[in-house]
Amino acid sequence: MQTGGLGSCLTMAEKIVLILSTFPDRETAHRISNQLVTEKFAACANILPAVESIYRWKDKIETGSEILVFFKLSEDRQSAFQEKLRSLHPYEVPEMIFVPVSSGLPEYLLWVVENCG
């Protein structure tokens, strides 16, 4: 029997987070995502080509095209990730939404944990 087994992989889901963040353009999203993965702040970054954003900023309604990135990382890297992304991000208040992962393919969840930090 394997060490850890399927049961321990399933509990890993509780330790994985998905982070959503938007960027002003593809080049910025790619550069920052590459750095975060290279430095093991995140295991993976998925760059979506474009989203149209409508939001209120300083009492004015703004619209614009942005690039959305999904980052996957282990929960124990969340604070370090947030600090690093904030230092790299060009926005005054960057979008960082942390979504806990409730389940997933056990082998994938293990891969995420093994490729962070």
Are 32 and 39 a contacting pair, CB within 8 Å?
A: no
Domains identified in the chain, total number: 1
CA–CA gap between residue 24 and residue 90 (Å, rounded): 8
CATH number at residue 22: 3.30.70.120
Question: Domain span at residue 53?
Answer: 5-114
The structure tokens 């975060």 sit at 36
Q: Which of 108, 103, 90, 88 is nearest to 43 (CA)?
A: 108
* Mean pLDDT, each 10-residue run in order, the chain (117 residues): 45 80 98 98 96 96 97 95 98 96 91 90
Q: What is the pTM of this model?
A: 0.87
